[in-house]
Amino acid sequence: MPHTLPTLPYAFDALEPHIDAKTMEIHSQKHHKAYVDNLNKALESAPDVANLDIATLLREINKVPAGVKQAVINNGGGHHNHALFWEIMGPNGGGEPTGAVADAIKEAFGDFAKFKDTVKNNGVTQFGSGWSWVVYNPASGKLEAVKKPNQDSPLMDGLVPVLGVDVWEHAYYLKYQNLRASYLDAWWNTVNWKAVEAKYAAAKAGK
């Protein structure tokens, strides 16, 4: 089955004033759609992996034929990264997490303030385009903060993303121009911690 563009789970203006409606519209309906369309096109010449779900496709990226592998990394990563991004944001977001994910953050980073500083610093210092990620590492059973260039997915490294912030310029430039750090500060007000906790629980359960 071809990969499809997910429906945004809230209105374009739902994350105002932190992320403006026009950015959300262009980001989700133009940029994300392009990743989906280009992924499907690339997979036309890779029938052996074309029916894999997106997470499996990225985890098993070395099974993708060499001729389309980079296209799948770029566009498959772009598709999965953005689908997660929309899910872990929402209206009335922000604050601090509770429950198991809060405990995991404290264990891995010391406290919530250090956690936020680490994620922000990874986003600010990612040269050019990329993402700042919080991932579950099945090998250690702990959360880690990593940064990845372009649309490279943590799944390709055996890591499970539970939270990520897009630092490509198209994610923030209409409102924040070159002030990436200001965007990252504001972005925390959009985080849906219930969704993050659900992704953490799924990752721990091996799902």
Q: Rounded to the nearest 10 degrees, what angle do helices 180-187 and 112-125 cross at?
A: 150
Q: Considering the domain 99-204 in this protein, what is its CATH number?
A: 3.55.40.20
Instruction: Mark residue 153 as left, alpha or beta (left: phi above 0; alpha: psi -120 to 50; beta: remaining).
Output: beta
Q: Rounded to the nearest 10 degrees, what angle do helices 66-87 and 32-43 cross at?
A: 150
Phi and psi torsions of 3, nearest 5°:
-75, 145
How much is the mean pLDDT over the chain?
97
CA distance 89 to 9: 9
In the chain, % of residues over pLDDT 90: 98
* CATH class of the 21-87 domain in this structure: mainly alpha
Q: Considering the entire predicted model, what is its pTM?
A: 0.96
Check: CB of residue 191 under 8 Å from CB of residue 15: no
78-133 pLDDT, tens per residue?
A: 999 999 999 999 999 999 999 999 999 999 999 999 999 999 999 999 999 999 99
Delimiting residues of CATH 3.55.40.20 domain(s) in the chain = 99-204
